[in-house]
Structure 1
């Protein structure tokens, strides 16, 4: 089993909260992780029709089996569970008693908010970070291979071809989950919408243009995006919220959580095609930004990542606060550090003036160095900065 960075956070939270909840996209490794961390707890999948029928028909009898606690997988499938757990944990607030997982964050969060507020610690497990891969496996992987394969655990623990796995994943989970939540009737339109989103990864979100190209109404596009975001298929990176006397862009940027899925949706099936693809730079940026996002969640943090762009063209691909100051990050997909890359990093470092730390330049090569006051970081080494990336 691959070691997951979220493990230490889950164990820390389980020592203080009676209920721990782990959300995240399907197949990100939630069940494997919680069963490994809490092997003494009975495991119940609420996607099992028999277990769910038992719970719905006789909730007291169903829960009577779990006085000492349990793992409830896909907890959102039985919404009444949250109310029943409220009574149980109020009677006995033993830390780490119940562990919930869910792949539909909106349903799980709604249940927690209504019934378990103050009793549950919420966490999120996204696909693998680069640092969660074995050293030898990561060292043997090219940047283009990483862009094609992404971070879903099964693609790193089996011989499955990414193209085969993603085709099954989209049909089995993405489309099914969306149909359950949104009651989408025209699946073809939704498939086209998802692919159009993949073509915009790393770009400013233009909802009107996206809806128009997909042939749907703007409110429909907004609803579909919300579900994709709540399912951890995409995330929206907000612009930095403080104004330093400049006119700043206020639109978020759209990113896919897993770059392999984005590559597959774009029809990219091999490294030769990817190397020449016009969106290779955007896909590399997606991979790197997702590493920062995963570091945050694995540390139990939420939010705190931004980008910067003003109307004069000054920009930083990423911006986050650490040690009371702002860390600007410039991301470039090329394997060679050029003068243009260094100048872009220097400009990124100037976005917040004296409040900025020396900028980072994360690039597609494998050398780490200091140049002209810039911390140059090869893409495979970014995991070594995970504590700083998490705001620590």
Structure 2
């Protein structure tokens, strides 16, 4: 197992909450992490038909078996268990009693909110970060290899190529999660929708245009996009809400949470073609945004990342609030610093005035240095960019 940065957060939350919920996309390493951190706890998968039937038929006796607590995997399969857990953990009064994992965000989180409010510490686990890969000496040797492979643990724990793994991952996701969350009559049409979303990663989200390109209504596109979000395949980055005296774009931007999956959905099958591919910039921007979100999630924090764009075309790729002020991040896929890169971010500094911190430029080269009033960070050094 590649050591995960979220392990310390998981331990910390288990000292302050009787229940810890570990959510994330399928195959992101949730079960492996939970079992590695809580080696003394019993493990039960609720996808096991016998265990699932037992939990459905007699939830009280099912839970009372676990005197020392347990890891309950894919707990969204038995949402009514959460109500029984409430009474049990209140009676025991122990911290870190049960660890819940789940892949379907809507079902699990809605159940937690309704039944276990105030009793659950929550952490979201995405695929591996560049910091985790670097620490285990498995970071790909080139940026193009990183963008092609992505960060799902299976592609680093086993001898698998992206071309072998991603088709099966997508097929399994469509067959299992989609059918559970919504009634899709035509899975082929839904798969086309997923590919069209990949083609729009890093762009402003227009649901009407997206639906039209897939032959569905904007309402259906919104519903299907919510399923992708619930399964941790995509995220919507919201525009920053402060005006700074300019009229702002109010439409969110869409991003995939794993760049390798995005590349495969775009039909990219080898690293060499990424160098000249029309989507190279979008792939790199998607990669960086997902890395920034991973940093937040691994620390047990909400993403709280935004972008900024006004109606005159001025834009900052990522913006987030800190105790010291507003941090702006510009993303450039080029491997050599260009003198005009800071122009847009300096323009934003004029609007933000004293609230703006020294900006950061993340680029497709290597190194960590200062240039033209900006901190310039290469893709390999992303783990050193503490949010």
TM-score, length-scaled by structure 1? 0.96
Does the CA contact (< 8 Å) of 2:174 and 2:187 recur in 1? Answer: no
In 2, Cα distance between the equivalents of 1:175 and 1:53? 22
Deviates more, 1:301-310 or 1:130-139: 130-139
* 1:339 match: secondary structure: coil
What secondary structure sits across from 1:340 in the alignment? coil
- Map residues 1-392 of structure 1 onto 2, 5 A cutoff: 1-135=1-135, 137-138=137-138, 140-385=140-385, 388-389=386-387
Deviations 1:195-243 (A, max 9, x none): 0000000000001000000000111100000110111000000000111
Aligned pair in 2 of structure 1 residues 123, 319: CA closer, same or farther (>3 Å)? same
CA distance in 2, matches of 1:348, 1:174: 41
User: Greater shift after overlay, 297-306 or 195-204?
Assistant: 297-306
What is the CA distance between 1:68 and its match in structure 2? 2.0
Distance 2:360 2:284 in 1: 16
1:143 and 1:347, CA in 2 relative to 1: closer, same or farther beyond 3 A?
farther
CA distance in 2 between partners of 1:348 and 1:89 (Å)? 50
Q: Distance in 2 between matches of 1:13 and 1:185?
A: 41
Structure 1 CA distance for aligned equivalents of residues 44 and 201 of structure 2: 37
Note closer, same or farther for the CA distance 1:239–1:369 as it changes in structure 2 (3 Å cut).
Answer: same
**C-alpha displacement at 1:382, in angstroms?**
0.9
Q: Secondary structure at the match of 2:65?
A: helix
Is the partner of 1:238 in helix, strand or coil? strand
Summarize deviations over 1:231-285 as a string: whole Å, max 9, x none. Answer: 1000000000111111010000000000000000000000122112111100100
Aligned length: 387
User: What's the CA shift string for 1:288-310, capped at 9, x where partnerless?
Assistant: 01111111111111132100000
CA deviation vs aligned residue, 1:32-64 (integer Å, no higher than 9, x gap): 000000000000000000110111122222222
Where do 5+ consecutive residues of structure 2 fail to align? none
3-state DSSP of counterpart to 1:39 = coil
4+ residue stretches of structure 1 with deviation over 4 A?
A: none
* Distance apart, 1:343 and its partner CA: 2.6
1:157: how far off?
1.7
Tell me, in whole angstroms, the C-alpha distance in 1 between the residues paired with 2:360 and 2:205: 25
- SS of 1:317 mapped into structure 2: strand
Q: Any conservation in 2 of the 1:345–1:374 contact (CA below 8 Å)?
A: no
Instruction: Say whether the 8 Å CA contact 1:315–1:351 is kept in structure 2.
Output: no
CA RMSD of superposed structures (Å):
1.3
Check whether the contact 1:256–1:286 (CA below 8 A) recurs between aligned residues: yes
1:172 aligns to what SS in structure 2? helix
Give me the TM-score of the superposition, normalised by structure 2.
0.97
